[in-house]
Amino acid sequence: MEQLRMACGVFGASSLKGQPVFPYIYWGLRAQNHRGHQSHGFLTYMNGEFYVYRSLDLVPKIRASAIHEWFGRLPGYIGIGNVRYTTSGKTDEKSLLAGTQPVTASKDGFKVAISFNGNVVNTFQLKREICRNFSGFSYECDAELICHKLLIELARRKDLEYAVEACMKEIEGAFSAAVITKEGEFFAFKDPHGIRPLCAGHSPDEDVYAFSSETVGLDINGFVRDFELEPGELVMVSEEGFERKQIVKDRKAFCAFEFAYFARPDSKFNDKYVYEIREEFGRNLVREYPDIVKDADIVISMPETGDDAAFGVHEESGLRWERATRRHRYVTERAFILLERERYTTIDKKINILASKVKGKKVIVVDDSIVRGDPTKIT
C-alpha cells in the first residue's frame, strides 16, 4: 500500500442558550490534532451568516491577550471545526489551504457549511453531476463534493432528511460529517456502513450539544458522551437536545485502523478504551506466535502508538518490555505526509534508539501497523 488514506478530525457544537461556542470548537480540535497536522479550520454561525478561519499546520496556541480578538473573528452560538490530512487533491501549500475545511457552498438561497472526515470513491460521477449545477466547479478535497451534493439535494427536494438520504445512497465511500445550514440547522450523519467515527455528547448543564470524531474531544470540554452515531444515522440538534433518525442501514464496517493507529489511546469505541483494545492485540500476538516469543529476550515498541500493544505482549509473555525507543516530543512532523527524502530524515531525527539496551539481544519489535515500514527500516 503506497498511499494510506488518512483520517481527519471533526468537531461541532451548538449552545441552546446562545452562548459563544468558539472555545468548545477550539479545544475539541486541540484534543484531536493527532488526526490532522496539515491544516485546521473553524466556522461559526450567527444570524444567518458564516464566519470562517482557516490555516495550515497545527491548531495554534492562543495567547490570553488574543482571546477577545478570536471571539470577535468567530462569533456565534453554533460552530464546526476540522483538522485535516490530505487524502485527495494536490499537496502544495496553495492547494492545501484551498482544501482546508470547513467548506461552504450556496445555491438558490440555500447555504451549507460542512466538516467532513472520510474518503469519497465515486468522485467522477459526483463531479459530473455537480458541474451541471455549478459551472466550472473544481475541488481540492472530498468535503467539497459532499457539501455541493447535499446543497443540490436540498435545493431540489426542499427537505433535509431526504437530502441526507440521497447523499447516503448516492455517495460511495466513508464519511462522517457535521453540518450547519443558513437557517441555523445543526446536524451530523454517517455513511451507511459507519466506517468513520463520530460520537455525540452534551455539557453537564445541558446547554451545549456536540459532535466529535473521538470521545477525547468531548472529554477535554467536560462533556458527557451520549452515543456513537449508527451507520446511516442522521442526528439533529434541537431545543430538546439530540433527535435521532435512522435513514439507511447496511452492514457495519468500522475502520480497523482507528483501533490500531488513528485514534488516541484514551478515546472510547464500543464501550472500550482504545488502549485496552491495543493491549489485547499484543496478547493475541503472543498466543498466535508462541515459538517466536520463546526465542526472544525482550520486547520493544515503535513509539508511541505501538506502546499499548507492546505492553500486551509483555503481560502475556512475561518478557521484559524494554523502553529503548523514545520519541523526540517536539519533532512534530508526521513522517508519512512528507516526500521520501524528507521522510527518512525526519524519522531518523524523531526516534531515538538506545542501542546499548538492545545490542546482542533477540528482540520482538511491536508496531501499530506496517504500511511502508519506514520507521522499522530506518531504526
CATH classification at residue 342:
3.40.50.2020
Q: Which long-range contacts (CB under 8 A, 24 or more apart) does 284-288 make?
A: 284/312, 285/309, 285/312, 285/313, 285/366, 286/312, 286/313, 286/316, 286/317, 287/316
Structural domain for 217, as ranges: 9-269
Reported as a pLDDT band with limits 50, 70 and 90, residue 17 is: very high
pLDDT higher than 90, residue 270: no
Query: Do 127 and 234 reside in the same domain of the chain?
Result: yes
Residue 111 corresponds to which cell in the numbers above?
A: 447555504
pLDDT tens-digit series, residues 279-316: 999 999 999 999 999 999 999 998 888 999 999 999 99
Global pTM reads 0.91
Query: Do 35 and 173 reside in the same domain of the chain?
Result: yes
Residue 213 corresponds to which cell in the numbers above?
A: 470524531
Query: Do 18 and 53 reside in the same domain of the chain?
Result: yes
Q: How far apart are CA 54 and CA 39, in angstroms?
A: 8
Mean pLDDT of the chain: 91
pLDDT higher than 70, residue 198: yes
Reduce the secondary structure of 122-191 to three states and give it as a string: CHHHHHHHHHHHCCCCCCCCHHHHHHHHHHHHHHHHCCHHHHHHHHHHHCCEEEEEEEEECCCCEEEEEC
pLDDT higher than 60, residue 335: no
Residue 17 corresponds to which cell in the numbers above?
A: 442558550
pLDDT tens-digit series, residues 111-170: 999 999 999 999 999 999 999 999 889 888 899 999 999 999 999 989 999 999 999 999
3 part of a folded domain: no
Residue 99: DSSP 8-state: T
pLDDT tens-digit series, residues 310-319: 999 999 999 9
Contacts of residue 159, defined as CB under 8 A and 6 or more positions apart, other chains included, come to: none
pLDDT tens-digit series, residues 60-100: 999 999 999 999 999 999 999 999 987 555 677 888 888 89
pLDDT higher than 50, residue 245: yes
pLDDT at 95: 84
Q: How far apart are CA 325 and CA 165, in angstroms?
A: 48
Contacts of residue 340, defined as CB under 8 A and 6 or more positions apart, other chains included, come to: none
Query: Do 199 and 107 reside in the same domain of the chain?
Result: yes
Query: Do 256 and 280 reside in the same domain of the chain?
Result: no
Query: Do 259 and 289 reside in the same domain of the chain?
Result: no
Query: Do 345 and 241 reside in the same domain of the chain?
Result: no
> How many structural domains compose the chain?
2
Instruction: List, in sequence order, the alpha helices (H) in the chain.
Output: 22-30, 67-73, 93-98, 123-133, 142-157, 160-170, 215-219, 256-257, 274-288, 290-294, 307-317, 340-350, 355-358, 374-378
Query: Do 239 and 286 reside in the same domain of the chain?
Result: no
pLDDT at 375: 56
Strand partners, 234: 189, 245
pLDDT at 4: 40
Residue 81: what residue type? G
